[in-house]
Amino acid sequence: MKLIRTSKTRLFFQLSEREKRLLLQVLQLYPRVPSAHQPLSKSGRLPDQAENQRLLDEALAEQRAENRKQLQALLANPGRFQQAEAGWHLQLSRSEVEWVLQVLNDVRVGSWVILGSPEGKLEGLDARTAPHFWAMEMAGYFQMQLLEAVEGEK
């Protein structure tokens, strides 16, 4: 995935056939962070802790559902990906780039949480953990490509 052109409002990327397929697979994994992963308070000393946690969980579920709906609309847009001689061109508005970065971060962090939040090298990669490791690494790869494109403009 490589930035090929920018305008005031859009960024244009070139992807190989394989990169396009991988990006779509990673984005389809959203949302990935388990809902119970974000406690309202680490201390547990808030009044109405259970009720407030329930409200937070509901708000996060609504936000994830809305993001999922936006993601489906983004990917269903026929002009989003254009076939090119060397693969595919992808165009995103600047705000879409920021939003896609958030979606990719959810997939990356959620996969890391599912793997048990390992520090350092992941031990014991097997048939159960490999898909989560793959999702974490691929989301990180696409995040870095987008971040480098955005940083390269500054």
Name the pLDDT band for 34 (thresholds 50, 70, 90). confident
Q: Domain tally for the chain?
A: 1
In a domain, 43, yes or no: no
* Domain with 11 in it: 2-38+65-152
pLDDT in tens, 84-143: 998 999 999 999 999 999 999 999 999 999 999 998 887 888 999 999 999 999 999 999
Assigned domain for 22 exists: yes
Tell me how far CA of residue 44 lies from CA of 35, 50, 54, in angstroms: 17, 9, 14
In a domain, 60, yes or no: no
Name the region of 31 (left: φ>0; alpha: ψ -120 to 50; beta: rest). beta
Assigned domain for 74 exists: yes
- 32 in a domain, yes or no? yes
> Cα-flanking dihedrals φ and ψ of residue 119, to 5°?
-100, 130
Question: pLDDT tens digits, residue range 40-79?
Answer: 666 667 778 778 888 888 998 999 999 999 999 998 998 8
Residue 58: inside a domain: no
